[in-house]
Amino acid sequence: MSPASRSDPVRRLTGDRLKEEDVDRIVAELKRWSAPKITWKMVVAAVAQDWLKPRRFSRQALEADPDIYRAYRKAKERCRNGRPPEKRKPLADRIATLQGENLRLRAENAALLEIFVTWMLNARDRGVGLDELDAPLLPARLSSDYREADVARKEAEKAEGLAKLKRLVAGKTDRRLAV
């Protein structure tokens, strides 16, 4: 460390402080919070990205302010109890949506039943019985299973080659002994 750097005064980095209007804005945004879940991490991100754009505050800095803390707790409670009534769809709209989904699912089910009947008739025409259709599927073979089978096949071929070689050598020694 050089002597000049020791004599320099220590520069303290001071971050932004929450101003009263910042607190009011954050509290207002928390009162309007409409997401189904709220966490401090989400609030910190929202403050940095949307509410107080160029400025960033830690969870501890936000939580230290009693107004923000109370607004956060109330928003958390609202999320636990479900979305606030002003954010819910009217009952008639929800019923209409569910009825539409019900009709779509019934049509999809009818189409699947039609396909199933077609497959059953084709299977019967080709002589495939119900017991064959109900048979359990073969277990899936993994690439490691194929490698193991390949290694076993190669070992069997090697053993067979050795056996042939032994028979050949044994046959030649028998002929030499016979001479």
SS (H, E, C) the chain: CCHHHHHCCCCCCCCCCCCHHHHHHHHHHHHCCCCCCCCHHHHHHHHHHHHCCCCCCCHHHHHHCHHHHHHHHHHHHHHHCCCCHHHCCCHHHHHHHHHHHHHHHHHHHHHHHHHHHHHHHHHHHCCCCHHHHCCCCCCCCCHHHHHHHHHHHHHHHHHHHHHHHHHHHHHHHHHHHHC
Token pair for 103: 């009709």
Question: How do residues 71-111 score in pLDDT, each as one tens digit?
Answer: 999 888 888 877 555 556 677 888 999 999 999 999 999 99
User: What is the structure's pLDDT at 2?
Assistant: 46
What does the domain layout of the chain look like in residue ranges? 20-87, 91-135, 150-179
**Of 77, 49, 72, 74, which Cα lies nearest the Cα of 59?**
72
Length of the chain: 179
Best CA proximity match to 31, nearest among 85, 80, 70, 89: 70
pLDDT band at residue 171 under the 50/70/90 scheme: confident
pLDDT tier at 178 (50, 70, 90 boundaries)? low
Model confidence pTM above 0.85? no
Q: Quick one: pLDDT at residue 12?
A: 36
Contact call for residues 30 and 72 (beta carbons, < 8 A): yes
To the nearest 10°, report the CA torsion of 11, 19, 57, 64.
100
pLDDT greater than 60 at residue 33 = yes
